[in-house]
Amino acid sequence: MKIILTTLNSRFTHSAIGLRYLYANMQELQNDTTILEFSINDAIQTIAEKLLINKPDIIGIGVYIWNASEVRELIHILKKVSPQTRIILGGPEVTYLPFRVNFDDADYIIQGEGDLAFYELCKKIIHEQATDKIIKMSAPDLKTIQLPYMYYTDEDIKNRYIYVEISRGCPFECEFCLSSMDEKVRAFDLDAVLQEFNKLWERGARNFKFVDRTFNLNMKAANKILDFFLEKEPPYFAHFEVIPDHFPATLREKIKRFPHGALQLEIGIQTLNPKIANNISRQLKLDKIKDNIRFLENETTAHIHLDLIVGLPGESLQSFGRNLDELMRISSCEIQIGILKKLSGTHINRHDIEEGMVYSDIPPYDILKNKQLSFLDIQIMKRFARFWDLYHNSGNFKTSLPLLWQNESVYKNFYAFGLWIYEQTDSTYKISLQRQGELLFSYLHEVKQIDKQTIAHTMLHDMMKLKGRAVPSYLKAFSNNLRIEAKIGTSGFNKRQF
């Protein structure tokens, strides 16, 4: 009996913790089981070839929003070439109905947490015991699950992020999120988990990404995990997803102690409009949220990643714009702008009729329009989000980008800039850093009517932050005039480059 566990990760640097949980709990079948990971950038027929060359009897595939379409194609090929191979699907994309991607070619589907269920199903297949095609699982007791961390390979540790967790579930009921479907938060045995983290550390692991939905909900556990890292010698990197309104003094003191580049906090803001938040069952303690963001911005070196969503039921572009302006007023951190998705099983569907919510049935199930936003509005905001990543979140134009808005609305001015960029490029991808700079320079001068010398001074400060970088061609005409200024001598510029 040969069993393969596989999935298509969104990037090579990602690793699948779910496969390793299944492998860790295969008991006597573990020696017959192999993990093979791929990415969505790999050719599907090549993936099928690499799977089938092992002549597996069973293939278990993890299905997620980013790989659902590719998995459908993969199953089609596998069944055409090797119809006797049993295919078992699991993961969030097949846990809730309706299935908007057709997985009829699969033999079995495990809905829910499959840590133990996959092993049980494999045993039934081996012994030719009848079972339903769709197997619905209740949440297992986490203390009965074997931990997966020893099954990260040395190659994983060297080249990939190591995904870890200390809990599962979420206590909140945000209607757009699959985690709102969980009944409660369940915790692993923290001492056992920390022992495994220590083993990973001793093997050289330094990049830890926690997949917990609410890391800072349980203060005792959060403090223990932070202590684990604070006791280690940098460099290292730890990523946590945190709730924005819960940063008590003990947590603040520990976060302040992390060295630069060691800590990243992802904070789901989504909206700052109380009416919209209430409409989607999301808790919103505005004063605490703003105070905590200011603390993180001004008193820590943590990298902060804030999330906003376009297309929430009832939220206009004007309301979204006010959200962005307010976040930019209190913070200079990364702001990720996402487009609302309708995930099967979530309660966001209750707004479909009243708010005229129309979504694509093709992954990632983005909203196409609603009563507040037209299809064109959504398209413009998708481009807005992409350009925002290129210009703001990249950090490449930290000094010069604020010339766009100065003391005016960030949203309105960047919106206009995004429209202008798209007119010039007819694209949101394959725009080089050189071209990005040229576009910004032209817009600031031609549209905002800022003099070229002022623009050049700030853009040189941005573009020459990295030593050894050549002066961009569109700034060369200004570099000789600027090199004698005192600020250039203290900005890390190499005068020989001018």
Nearest-angstrom CA–CA distance, 284 and 63 = 32
Q: Output the pLDDT for position 361.
A: 95
Q: Which of 394-408, 414-428, 484-498 has the lowest mean pLDDT?
A: 484-498
416 plus 329 within the same structural domain? no
Q: pLDDT above 70 covers what percent of the chain? A: 95
**Is residue 451 predicted with pLDDT exceeding 70?**
yes
Nearest-angstrom CA–CA distance, 329 and 405 = 12
Judge whether 316 lies within some domain. Answer: yes
Tell me whether residue 141 is exposed, middle or buried, using C-beta atoms within 10 angstroms of its C-beta: 0 to 12, 13 to 18, 19 or more. exposed
328 plus 232 within the same structural domain? yes
For residue 485, what pLDDT band results from cuts at 50, 70 and 90?
A: very low
Cβ(4)–Cβ(51) under 8 Å?
A: yes
Q: Output the pLDDT for position 492.
A: 42
Judge whether 320 lies within some domain. Answer: yes
Last residue of a domain, one of 307, 341, 373: 373
131 plus 15 within the same structural domain? yes
Nearest-angstrom CA–CA distance, 206 and 259 = 14
Judge whether 282 lies within some domain. Answer: yes
The range of the structural domain enclosing residue 120 comes to 3-138
Give the DSSP H or E segment for 337.
strand 334-339
**Is residue 290 predicted with pLDDT exceeding 90?**
yes
For residue 3, what pLDDT band results from cuts at 50, 70 and 90?
A: very high
Instruction: Give the CATH number for residue 94.
Output: 3.40.50.280
Sign of CA dihedral 286, 288, 293, 298: positive
Our count of domains for the chain comes to 3
Nearest-angstrom CA–CA distance, 10 and 40 = 6
Judge whether 435 lies within some domain. Answer: yes
* Distance in Å from the first CA to the final CA of the chain: 67
105 plus 254 within the same structural domain? no
75 plus 43 within the same structural domain? yes
State the chain's mean pLDDT as an integer. 93
Cβ(37)–Cβ(9) under 8 Å?
A: yes
Q: Output the pLDDT for position 467.
A: 64
Give me 129's structure tokens. 């015991």
Q: Output the pLDDT for position 495.
A: 33
Nearest-angstrom CA–CA distance, 286 and 58 = 51
Those residues whose C-beta lies under 8 Å from the C-beta of residue 486, and which sit 6 or more positions away, are none
Cβ(199)–Cβ(149) under 8 Å?
A: yes
**Is residue 7 predicted with pLDDT exceeding 70?**
yes
Judge whether 85 lies within some domain. Answer: yes
Judge whether 486 lies within some domain. Answer: yes
Q: Looking at per-residue confidence, does 491 or 135 come out higher?
A: 135
Judge whether 49 lies within some domain. Answer: yes
Q: What are the two backbone dihedrals, phi and then psi, of residue 85, each rounded to the nearest 5 degrees?
A: -70, 125
Give me 409's structure tokens. 């609305």
Interior angle at CA 157, CA 152 and CA 158, nearest 5: 145
pTM: 0.91
108 plus 232 within the same structural domain? no
Q: Output the pLDDT for position 476.
A: 85
Closest CA to 29 of 61, 63, 57, 62: 57
95 plus 170 within the same structural domain? no
135-194 confidence digits (pLDDT tens): 999 889 999 999 999 999 999 999 999 999 999 988 888 889 888 776 688 999 999 999
87 plus 170 within the same structural domain? no
Judge whether 17 lies within some domain. Answer: yes
349-390 confidence digits (pLDDT tens): 999 999 999 999 999 999 999 999 999 999 999 999 999 999
Cβ(245)–Cβ(272) under 8 Å?
A: no
Nearest-angstrom CA–CA distance, 301 and 386 = 26
Give the DSSP H or E segment for 359.
strand 358-359
Instruction: Give the CATH number for residue 201.
Output: 3.80.30.20
Q: pLDDT above 90 covers what percent of the chain? A: 84
365 plus 245 within the same structural domain? yes
